[in-house]
Chains A and B, each alone.
Chain A
């Protein structure tokens, strides 16, 4: 502990500090200043701004998070094929490098903005804000944000999305929610992708993955899906349509589960 700023204050000597309220003198004559501010407040502020943009246009924003190679882009391709002509879609792609994913989306006639993060392992709200300027939200119903493939970092950054969708592909193993609790606790929907491989693999138990999700106190819907053979695609589309309805009814102003709630509450109290 430090000897100068008063952090070694205990219940027994706390009254010594109270005279100055939140501001107390340190023995060395400096100031000790209570702050209680979230470290990601600047990002969260930008995220709230993004969410206002989406809300104003009645656009549902869905953040897709998973490891690299779990089938995010393949799911988007299948989604575009199924919803073409029914809903206006756009995709914001986050990758360290290349325009490969954006090209795959554009090839299906849907606008895609590629964010190249360089060495950054996640998208943040400012990057998404810049990307939004390249999209005509008035012409859209759903914007998908395909986050950087990573089960760790993206979960800490609110982007302004309405819903988080986590993908867990069967080759990754059914214990991933227990290994990466921050990410899977934030999910509003868990898709067990590459379901067509479950039979081949033999050791992936969807119920074990769902059990690990429940152990994170997460009540989110979860089901198996294969973009290749179409398993679960109807359930996914029904979930999307329901989320869009909720978004339009104005009943949904959700703080995504990823936003640290306890920290936010402490910040408000302070």
Chain B
């Protein structure tokens, strides 16, 4: 599955941020995932230690934040919660809606630790 590829991209991004901030290690990584991102929560978690091995994020904790699916109705103009495979307006049942949340695949926050001395 593609979660490993996504996780490798995540680690690359996090390493670049840590490098840029001259941090010794990454302690926490916060990722926001919507059900319509196509990423399976559990698989991403499983892939994380494999992708993180040998990187500054090898001991980091991965925090996954589930994003709700929300649609905006083009008819009645209201926003409502929806299921991933039923993106209808909850008020008027119209299918002509726009997704305003639920397809996120975002690196939201990283927490860095500065070492007194850098050890390679």
Cβ-defined partner of B13 (8 Å) among A39, A182, A214: A39
* Contact pattern, B 88-120, Cβ under 8 Å of A = 1, otherwise 0: 100000011111111111111111111000000
Alpha-carbon distance between A197 and B113 when the two chains are bound, in angstroms: 61
B95 & A217 in contact (Cβ 8 Å cutoff) = yes
Looking at the assembled complex, report how far the CB atom of A168 sits from the nearest CB atom of chain B, in whole angstroms. 14
Number of interface residues of B (CB under 8 A): 48
Q: Is A1 in the interface zone, CB < 8 Å from B? A: yes
Q: Say whether, besides A179-B85, A262-B103, A31 and B108 are in contact (CB < 8 Å).
A: no
Looking at the assembled complex, report how far the CB atom of A21 sits from the nearest CB atom of chain B, in whole angstroms. 13
Number of interface residues of A (CB under 8 A): 51
Alpha-carbon distance between A122 and B101 when the two chains are bound, in angstroms: 25
Q: Is A200 in the interface zone, CB < 8 Å from B? A: no
> A215 to chain B: which residues have CB within 8 Å?
85-88, 95
Looking at the assembled complex, report how far the CB atom of B73 sits from the nearest CB atom of chain A, in whole angstroms. 10
A263 & B37 in contact (Cβ 8 Å cutoff) = yes
Cβ-defined partner of B106 (8 Å) among A5, A6, A37, A155: A37
* Contact pattern, B 8-43, Cβ under 8 Å of A = 1, otherwise 0: 011011000100010100011011001011110000
Q: Is A242 in the interface zone, CB < 8 Å from B? A: no
A217 & B104 in contact (Cβ 8 Å cutoff) = no
B28 & A263 in contact (Cβ 8 Å cutoff) = no
Alpha-carbon distance between A39 and B10 when the two chains are bound, in angstroms: 6
Q: Is B71 in the interface zone, CB < 8 Å from A? A: yes
> Who on chain A is nearest to B10 by CB?
A39
Cβ-defined partner of A35 (8 Å) among B17, B38, B113: B17
Q: Say whether, besides A40-B9, A217-B98, A261 and B103 are in contact (CB < 8 Å).
A: yes
> A219 to chain B: which residues have CB within 8 Å?
96
Q: Is A185 in the interface zone, CB < 8 Å from B? A: yes
Most A Cβ at <10 Å: residue of B2, B6, B95, B110: B2
A262 & B102 in contact (Cβ 8 Å cutoff) = yes
B5 & A124 in contact (Cβ 8 Å cutoff) = yes
Alpha-carbon distance between A35 and B12 when the two chains are bound, in angstroms: 14
Q: Is A144 in the interface zone, CB < 8 Å from B? A: no
Alpha-carbon distance between A266 and B105 when the two chains are bound, in angstroms: 10
> B21 to chain A: which residues have CB within 8 Å?
31, 33
A30 & B106 in contact (Cβ 8 Å cutoff) = no
25 A-B contacts (beta carbon < 8 Å): A2-B63, A5-B28, A5-B109, A32-B110, A33-B21, A34-B108, A36-B108, A37-B106, A39-B6, A39-B31, A39-B106, A40-B6, A41-B13, A42-B9, A43-B9, A122-B2, A155-B38, A216-B85, A217-B87, A217-B97, A260-B36, A261-B99, A262-B101, A262-B103, A263-B104
With A5-B109, A28-B113, A33-B21 given, name 7 new contacts (CB 8 A).
Answer: A29-B114, A32-B110, A42-B9, A152-B38, A182-B84, A262-B103, A263-B34
Smallest CB-CB A-B distances: 6 pairs:
A5-B111, A156-B38, A153-B2, A260-B103, A182-B38, A217-B87
